[in-house]
Structure 1
Amino acid sequence: MKVFIGYVSLSGNTEKMAINIKNRMMAVGCEVYMERLDTVEVDTLKDFDLAFIGLYTWNQDDLPYEAHEFYEELDQADFPGGKVAFFGAGDAIHILSAKMKICGFTVYDRVLKMEQETTAHDQCEHFADQALSWGSKRMKWRFILTDLMQNNPKYQRPPIC
């Protein structure tokens, strides 16, 4: 499974969470790409099965300035059903989450929120595992159906002579 992790971090706490999630995804065999959100275009998400987005909150309830361009690009996004899970601090998570839902993304209903200065490594791993399970459900059915079709003579291609 291909996983994208995009984040913006001011104090380094959101970055630590992103690294913990990345390490967990790699440990379970996912192909992971991690990048600061301010250097990524929204279209990049098309190439991934699941995305994790991490934000800090600026000025108590605002998006960080590094996430504004990404937020604006969502209006041109055209790939409904992309799966996204959020982590970080404050209300910025909910601002971006709401916009992504409006733009057709499927958003994981749980959020990993930072408590105080940092969130425990175990919490990040548990959240990553849950989000991965949620994000791969549709894929599991696709693989099961493909296997059934391959073993059924009705769906097999005739041999080429």
Structure 2
Amino acid sequence: MKVFIGYISLSGNTEKMAVIIKDRLAACGCEVELERLDTIETDTLKDYDLVLIGSYTWNKEELPYEAMEFYEELGQADVQGVKAACFGSDDLSYTDTYTAIDMLLKKMKGHGAYVYEETLKIHQKTTTYNQIKMCENFADQVLMWSNKRKKWRLFSRSRVLNILHYVKSASL
């Protein structure tokens, strides 16, 4: 499975999350590409089987300026059918936390992406051990969700075409 992880990080917390998720998915046999959001073209998201987007929330309730171009291009890009999930870190002292993650998730869903509804949101002061466990669990859950979507599409297509066959499920 070909996976893209794009992120923006100011303090390094979201970048650490992205690396942990990357390592976990790579250990599961995925081909993972990790890149900053401010350097990618949104049109390339269609080339991946799974896309994970990570961000922090800037200035209490805003999308970081490094992610603004990516966010705006999402409105014009063809992300129809792309399987996506979002993650990020934030400071709980803000009144409205994790706004950037929710904005990115909503934008992708609004433009036809299949979105994993549960996001990974970690407070910037979370201990390293808990952060690693949360990131690894998130990677496992997103991968299982992504594989289920693939099997369901295959099953649905087979039912429509009235093709009978047995699909052996793979375990992680």
CA distance in 1, matches of 2:118, 2:8: 19
Counterparts of 1:4-19 in structure 2, within 5 Å, are: 4-19=4-19
TM-score by length of 1: 0.85
Q: Which of 139, 149, 159 in structure 2 is aligned with 1:138?
A: 149
CA distance in 2, matches of 1:97, 1:86: 6
Stretches of structure 1 that go unaligned for 5 or more consecutive residues are 150-161
Q: Do 2:61 and 2:100's aligned partners in 1 also have CA atoms closer than 8 Å?
A: yes
Post-superposition shift, 1:116? 3.4
Runs in 1 of length 4+ with deviation above 6 angstroms? Answer: none
Q: Do 2:79 and 2:108's aligned partners in 1 also have CA atoms closer than 8 Å?
A: no
2:124 maps to a residue whose letter is Q
Post-superposition shift, 1:141? 4.6
CA distance in 2, matches of 1:62, 1:143: 39
Secondary structure of the 2:118 match is strand
CA distance in 1, matches of 2:83, 2:22: 16
Distance 1:147 1:13, change over 3 A: farther
Aligned residues: percent identity?
60
Q: Does 1:103 align with 2:114?
A: no
Residue in 1 that maps onto 2:165:
148
2:115 maps to a residue whose letter is V
Q: Do 2:50 and 2:146's aligned partners in 1 also have CA atoms closer than 8 Å?
A: yes
TM-score by length of 2: 0.80
